């Protein structure tokens, strides 16, 4: 028994809402990152412009003093610049001889300066690092980070050293804090609006889907006449139409299946009836053979006894056909190999003299013939084998009869050969002019099959027959 599990009613609503939140969070996050990078670039560009202007002014004011080695005047001017420019974290004048004049502000007293020898690419930059700003950690531990700017100092076309400025990033930090605050407020608004929009959209989406679910349960319960009446457009409307077409197709197939079942049941009843008919025909023929056998035992006339025995064999071959039909899977065709094996065994049993041995060797392919063809074919073989058993082996203890039946190439469908290794018959013998009842019967049956007969009596007796299968018209 199959237990159906009901899906959670709010699963789509939760998923759509969660997806809307995720989209909103990602959007706000991407927006914050873009604004932060843009603001960082903007502040860095502004600070670079300020640093360039200030460095050029300092270069103009201290150039002559540095060249004349009036370092006290350079220090006074740099300290004065620190007092005027509150945004400057440090001001370093690096001389080409290795000395550096480092000026840093002191919040608790006079500004500080010292003359030390600084090393490193920061203080002796290459051409690619000059006139550009880079955010790095303050080398004098005044604050976490600052914008470091290096400007080459020149006088009279020759370079005397470098001017290094460190500018505060307070404006950058304030801008980033404002971005975070504004982004958080905008994100909260976006999340609330997104959740509300997602909720109402999911409800409108779930309504037709639930109707489709109810419709699917009705169809699963066997209501193939149900239809999904959903007023929706787009993919959901197409889905409802597809459901309706599918159920309509299922309904049509169900009608065809019921008709097929009725037709199959009718054919089965007819097949059972046909098997019963074949069975009763076989029983009636068995009664006839029994009556002929009794009549044979009561007669003293040898010719009459032979006639009765031949008639009994013919009726037995026809009854055997009906027996094979009701025992086989098909009630319309005969497996000739099994039929001939049983038929020839019965003919040997009833026509072999005492003290002798007769054998029939079969070479029959997978040949299945209809009743209208198998019956005359069986009677022909009965006559030919009976005749060979009686007359082909006089005074001989052993004798062999060969029977071959295969599909033949050409216009004829089948080739039947009956040959014995007996004494043979003169080739001048004309089968068509034979006066015996058995041979006349063979000729008549061959004509019935529209067949052709060939005779050879040189080495034993060999009869070849080519015939076509009769086209039987079904009357059921």
- The 3-class secondary structure across the chain, one letter per residue, is CCCCCCCCCCHHHHHHHHHHHHHHHHHHHHHHHHHHHHHHHHHHHHHHHHHHHHHHHHHHHHHHHHHCCCHHHHHHHHHHHHHHCCCEEEEEEEECCCCEEEEECCCCCCCEEEEECCCCCCCCCCHHHCCCEEEEECCCCCCCEEEEEEEEEEECCEEEEEEEEEEECHHHHHHHHHHHHHHHHHHHHHHHHHHHHHHHHHHHHHHHHHHHHHHHHHHHCCCCCCCCCCCCCHHHHHHHHHHHHHHHHHHHHHHHHHHHHHHHHHHHHHHHHHHHHHHHHHHHHHHHHHHHHHHHHHCCCHHHHHHHHHHHHHHHHHHHHHHHHHHCCCCCEEEHHHHHHHHHHHHHHHHCCCCCEEEEEEEECCCEEEHHHHHHHHHHHHHHHHHHHHHCCCCCCEEEEEEEEEECCCCCCEEEEEEECCCCCCCCCCHHHCCCHHHHHHHHHHHHCCCEEEEECCCCEEEEEEECCCCCCCCC
Q: Angle 134-135-141 (CA atoms, 0-180°, nearest 5)?
A: 125
Residue 216 is predicted with a pLDDT of 77
In the block, which residue shows the tokens 């066997």?
222
- Mean pLDDT of all residues in the chain? 77
Residues 6+ apart with CB under 8 A from 328: 334, 335
Across 245-259, 276-290, 375-389, the highest mean pLDDT is recorded for 375-389
Structural fold of domain 23-175: Beta-Lactamase (3.30.450)
Whether 240 and 212 have beta carbons less than 8 Å apart is answered as yes
- How many CB atoms within 10 Å of residue 467? 24
Residue 402 pLDDT more than 90?
yes
**Other Cβ atoms closer than 10 A to 352:** 15
Closest CA relative to residue 343, chosen from 374, 298, 304, 305? 374
Compute CA distances 192 → 10, 19, 77, whole Å.
19, 13, 58
Q: What integer pLDDT is reported at residue 103 of this predicted model?
A: 85
Q: Where in the chain is the domain with CATH 3.30.450.20?
A: 23-175
| 74-78, 201-205, 471-475: the lowest-pLDDT one | 471-475
Average pLDDT over residues 363-390: 85
Q: What does the alpha-carbon distance between residue 150 and residue 52 come to, in Å, rounded to a whole number? A: 9
Residues of the chain with pLDDT > 70, as a percent, come to 81
- Range scoring the smallest mean pLDDT among 17-26, 47-56, 63-72, 83-92: 17-26
What's the pLDDT band for 401 if we cut at 50, 70, 90? very high
What average pLDDT does range 143-150 have in this prediction? Answer: 81
Residue 418: predicted pLDDT: 92
Is residue 466 within 8 A of residue 405, CB to CB? The reply is no
User: Predicted confidence band at 475 (pLDDT cuts at 50, 70, 90)?
Assistant: very low
**Amino acid 369: pLDDT:** 85
Query: According to CATH, where is 3.30.565.10 located in the chain?
Result: 354-470
Residue 33 pLDDT: 78
- Report which of residues 285 and 424 the model is more confident about: 424
Dist CA 447 CA 383 (whole Å):
15
What pLDDT band is residue 403 in, cutting at 50, 70 and 90?
very high
In CATH terms, is domain 354-470 a member of 3.30.70.141?
A: no
Lowest mean pLDDT among 64-73, 82-91, 352-361, 408-417: 408-417
Express each pLDDT in 315-329 by its tens digit: 777 776 667 655 666
* Alpha carbon distance 431, 18 (integer Å): 99
Residue of higher predicted confidence among 57 and 256: 57
- Encode pLDDT of 109-123 as tens digits: 677 888 888 888 888
pLDDT higher than 60, residue 9: no
Q: Is 359 a residue whose pLDDT tops 50?
A: yes
Using the predicted structure, report yes or no on whether residue 428 has a pLDDT greater than 70. Answer: no
Q: How far apart are CA 222 and CA 242, in angstroms?
A: 18
User: Look-up: residue for tokens 């039987």?
Assistant: 472
pLDDT bracket for residue 417 (50, 70, 90): very high
Least confident of 83-92, 94-103, 173-182, 231-240: 231-240
Q: Is 131 left (phi over 0), alpha (psi -120 to 50) or beta?
A: left
């Amino acid at each position: 028994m199959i237990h159906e599990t009901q899906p959670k009613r709010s699963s789509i609503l939760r998923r759509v809402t969660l997806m809307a939140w995720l989209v909103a969070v990602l959007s706000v996050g991407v927006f914050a990152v873009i604004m932060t990078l843009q603001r960082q670039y903007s502040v860095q560009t502004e600070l670079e412009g300020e640093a360039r202007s200030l460095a050029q002014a300092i270069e103009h004011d201290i150039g002559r003093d540095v060249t004349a080695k009036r370092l006290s005047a350079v220090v006074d001017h740099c300290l004065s610049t620190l007092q005027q420019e509150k945004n400057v974290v440090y001001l370093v004048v690096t001389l080409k001889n290795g000395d550096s004049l480092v000026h840093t502000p002191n919040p608790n007293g006079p500004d500080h300066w010292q003359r030390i020898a600084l090393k490193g690419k920061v203080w002796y930059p290459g051409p690619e690092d000059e006139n550009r700003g880079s955010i790095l950690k303050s080398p004098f531990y005044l604050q976490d980070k600052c914008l470091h700017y290096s400007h080459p100092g020149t006088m009279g076309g020759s370079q005397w050293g470098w001017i290094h400025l460190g500018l505060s990033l307070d404006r950058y930090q304030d801008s980033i804090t404002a971005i975070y605050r504004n982004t958080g407020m905008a994100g909260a608004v976006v999340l609330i609006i997104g959740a509300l929009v997602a909720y109402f959209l999911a409800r409108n989406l779930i309504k037709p889907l639930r109707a489709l679910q109810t419709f699917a349960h009705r169809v699963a319960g066997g209501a193939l006449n149900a239809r999904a009446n959903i007023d929706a457009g787009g993919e959901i409307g197409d889905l409802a139409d597809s459901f309706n077409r599918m159920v309509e197709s299922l309904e049509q197939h169900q009608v065809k299946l019921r008709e097929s079942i009725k037709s199959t049941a009718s054919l089965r009843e007819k097949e059972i009836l046909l098997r019963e008919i074949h069975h009763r025909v076989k029983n009636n023929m068995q009664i006839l053979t029994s009556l002929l056998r009794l009549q044979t035992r009561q007669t003293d006339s040898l010719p009459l006894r032979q006639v009765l025995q031949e008639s009994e064999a013919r009726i037995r071959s026809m009854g055997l056909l009906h027996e094979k039909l009701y025992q086989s899977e098909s009630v319309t065709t005969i497996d000739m190999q099994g039929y001939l094996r049983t038929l020839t065994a019965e003919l040997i049993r009833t026509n072999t003299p005492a003290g002798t041995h007769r054998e029939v060797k079969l070479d029959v392919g997978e040949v299945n013939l209809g009743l209208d063809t198998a019956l005359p074919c069986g009677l022909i073989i009965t006559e030919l084998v009976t005749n060979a058993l009686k007359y082909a082996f006089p005074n001989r203890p052993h004798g062999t009869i060969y029977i071959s039946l295969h599909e033949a190439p050409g216009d004829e469908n089948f080739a039947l050969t009956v040959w014995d290794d007996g004494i043979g018959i003169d080739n001048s013998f004309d089968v068509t002019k034979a006066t015996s009842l058995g041979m006349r019967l063979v000729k008549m049956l061959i004509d019935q099959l529209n067949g052709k007969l060939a005779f050879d009596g040189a080495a034993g007796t060999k009869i070849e027959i080519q015939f076509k299968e009769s086209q039987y018209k079904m009357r059921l």
